[in-house]
A and B are shown apart, each in its own frame.
Chain A
């Protein structure tokens, strides 16, 4: 409907990957940062998949009812906190296994999300405002790739903030101590259970904000299939990133870009092997897992007491 848009040819792949990285990375970024915080404290939360889903459904519903997408994000964070707190409480009961509790949360939470999601008949909720950095360009592809969600910048800032907290603050030290050696931490007078509870709760809030991105920007609808395993992928991504928030950021960008590879190659006329290209984020995960894991040594950066009481 505008004037004839310029096409970018092969540069289109680079633009598509960069654009895809900035759009598609956001859920991975928030979930992996949340999971990074959780695991640094020594706990595993597989329920991130469903916190992402509940965040998505809550943000959509609240944005639709109140007309304010930012209230939607806030409400999603609160729901994420509640689910995180529930997981924290569950996994601190004697002889409750983190992984089993996480799987139970996935089943419970997806039922809950679908139950609330049924009520939404509105096709779209008010979307988050975007930051337009591409108005200098005449190419539609570049303009569109550079319309960036504010959550993208918040996510980057969070990754660096989290790194600073882990390395420079006493609470960060307590989180790491709780995750590496809870016995020693207790001996130092740290209330390990409380530190972990707070870490898991905040982690849940972060993951749910990632869900808000799904319904309030990209793709911008509510659908039961909206999370599509991204929450679980992000948990794997934390291992990939060796429990470093800044590496989580890089890994999330890589995954977001990889997600755009299959569709953009096809739209450029590379018609074969699309199943292979579409699978590239998963192949990437497998490849890095194989490269970084050996049975002989502990993973670099892995919290010493991960998954233990």
Chain B
């Protein structure tokens, strides 16, 4: 007689109708999430972990997760464990470096499993069909956040601590500055690049030197700008967050911030899979992208120092963005070297792929896009 494991034995009993009926049906769908960093970083990783939490409202979903998965073969192993041990039929890989080649290889190995990757560069000709890409455009929220910074500043100098001069970061610096200058044409933004996504000591040092230069609103784009927001509070300045709600780091000086709302995306994809759709056969779109309007991202709750008048101006601008009357990349726009970046009469929609190749900083930014 072959040896039976306890699990096989239990399954056999259940199949034969010997055991008692289970009180509730088991979850029909198991999904797995992998994050690059810790779930409590108050930044990018936590925004995805919070998105996973949103799935709790669906009783038929079981969501497993693993944090601090490096962008190495470990990412592939982690996905494999989720598929074979937890029975995941859907995997969300949330970090850019999880995509190539780890998600691609896993998708090839497991054609029955659907993979969704945040922000990957999908290539129709080379990559398997069971991969979907999702991402968000947060420029408009940065614009609104920049408006509050422009209204709050007394010195007209804003500080931006950024990780690397890649298009996504430059877009945020530019849209933040455009927002600030829309309400305060004298406002300028000073950028300091740190060189990597998570460097808490250097981010603190950068925030501190910006404060020394008379900057009175600090924000940033790093894995988690909580250090930047905290340093603003410590120096008696204003702070705007990014990635996740960082108001807890600055009870007095927090203005607002641009944060992700991945729960919207995860609920949408889970519902579609529940209806029997799949990215493999094309019934789920290959690319799922959204903006402020689609609630892929949102503004953090306002801090205590935001005046009712400022709130009203931001609310009005938000309404204009939502009804389409306010386009933030509307020509003529000059870059900070005096060249025309977007000519007069041209409007770039937020989803326009031309923006994904952005390599310039807008007029009013003190900094250089090329290292």
Residues of A within 8 A of B (CB): 1-2, 4-8, 12, 15-16, 19-20, 23-24, 114, 117-118, 120-121, 123-124, 140-141, 144-145, 214, 218-221, 223-226, 228, 230, 259-260, 262-264, 266-269, 271-275, 278
Contacts and interface: CB of A to CB of B under 8 A. Distances in A.
A117 B231 CA distance: 22
A224 B37 contact: yes
A278 B249 contact: no
Contacts of A19: 208, 212
Contacts of A5: 155, 214, 216
Nearest to B213: A267
Nearest to B42: A123
A135 to B, nearest CB: 14
Given A220-B230, A263-B205, A1 B237 contact: yes
B195 A274 contact: yes
B201 interface: yes
Interface stretch (B76-84, B350-358, B363-371): B363-371
B283 interface: no
Interface string B191-231: 11111001111111110111111111000000010110011
A199 to B, nearest CB: 28
A197 to B, nearest CB: 32
Given A5-B155, A5-B214, A219-B230, A263 B199 contact: no
7 contacts: A1-B237, A20-B205, A24-B205, A220-B227, A223-B200, A267-B159, A267-B213
Contact of B226 (A121, A221, A278): A221
A228 B201 contact: yes
A2 B193 CA distance: 27
A259 B230 contact: no
A2 B236 contact: yes
Interface string B225-243: 0110011001111100000
Give the size category of B's interface with A. 35 or more
B201 A259 contact: yes
Most buried by A among B39, B42, B234, B305: B234
A121 B212 CA distance: 31
A24 B201 contact: yes
Interface in B30-48: 37-42
4 nearest A-B residue pairs (beta carbon):
A219-B204, A141-B212, A263-B206, A271-B368
A275 B68 contact: no
A263 to B, nearest CB: 4
B257 interface: no
B171 interface: no
B201 A219 contact: yes
Given A1-B238, A144-B212, A121 B40 contact: yes
B209 A118 contact: no
Contacts of A259: 201-202, 205
A275 B163 CA distance: 11
Given A7-B214, A260-B205, 16 more contacts: A1-B216, A5-B214, A12-B213, A114-B38, A117-B38, A145-B212, A218-B201, A219-B204, A220-B230, A221-B230, A223-B224, A225-B198, A264-B209, A266-B209, A267-B210, A267-B215
B179 to A, nearest CB: 20
A83 to B, nearest CB: 21
A281 to B, nearest CB: 10
B27 to A, nearest CB: 25
B110 interface: no
Contacts of A219: 200-201, 203-204, 227, 230-231
B248 interface: yes
Contacts of B231: 219
A262 B212 contact: no
